[in-house]
Amino acid sequence: EEVEETYIMIKPDGVQRGFVGEIISRFEKKGFKLTGLKLFQCPKELAEEHYKDLQSKSFFPKLIDYITSGPVVCMAWEGIGVVASARKLIGATNPLNAEPGTIRGDLAVQTGRNVVHGSDSPENGKREIALWFKEGELSSWTPAQQPWLTE
């Protein structure tokens, strides 16, 4: 298994509903390493760039309004297999299809208010971290628990 990076973002509804600590906690407990973290009001242009693959969808304008409707929490997480594992922790795009125990399965009811974003591939993980963070906002560090987490 490869060490990877993923971009996780608590969307404005997750912040407004008071889930910041809860969501960070799930990735922390699993054993992933936080390498970047900030509260941020996303400009429209950045939201459009982040979701550019969905530009042609009918819901695109609403998606951009939603993501820019309040502060988001931007995070970079690192770990073995973190991209796919974070997607599992987050759950299906439609929260009504997301398994109980996942973030969306436990905390949300609608696709248009699904609380959290996670990159869908290691390539997009790198792309999105570079998009949302500046150099100097990311930290490389060794958690004290590391020898107890991996062989």
Which residues are part of a known binding site for ATP?
11, 59, 87, 93, 104, 114
Q: Which of 39, 49, 55, 59 binds ligand DAT (CB under 6 A)?
A: 59
Measured from the CB atom, the residue of 93 and 145 that comes closer to ligand DAT is 93
Q: How far apart are CA 15 and CA 140, in angstroms?
A: 26
For residue 50, indicate whether it is catalytic: no
Is 128 in a helix, a strand, or coil?
helix
Is 59 in a helix, a strand, or coil?
coil
Task: Choose among 54, 122, 56, 55: nearest CA to 84.
Answer: 122
Tokens of 2: 């490869």
Q: Interface mask (CB under 6 A) for ligand DAT, residues 66-105, using x and -?
A: ---------------------------x------------
Which of 10, 14, 117, 132 is catalytic? The answer is 117
Q: Is 121 in the site for ligand DAT (CB under 6 A)?
A: no
Q: Which of 117, 125, 128, 133 binds ligand DAT (CB under 6 A)?
A: 117
Q: How far apart are CA 13 and CA 122, in angstroms?
A: 26
Q: Interface mask (CB under 5 A) for Mg ion, residues 101-130, using x and -?
A: -------------------x----------
Residue type, 119: S
Q: Is 26 in the site for ligand DAT (CB under 6 A)?
A: no
Question: Where would I find the H helices in the chain?
Answer: 12-16, 20-30, 44-50, 60-67, 82-90, 103-107, 122-132, 146-149
State in angstroms the smallest separation of the CB of 148 from ligand DAT: 32
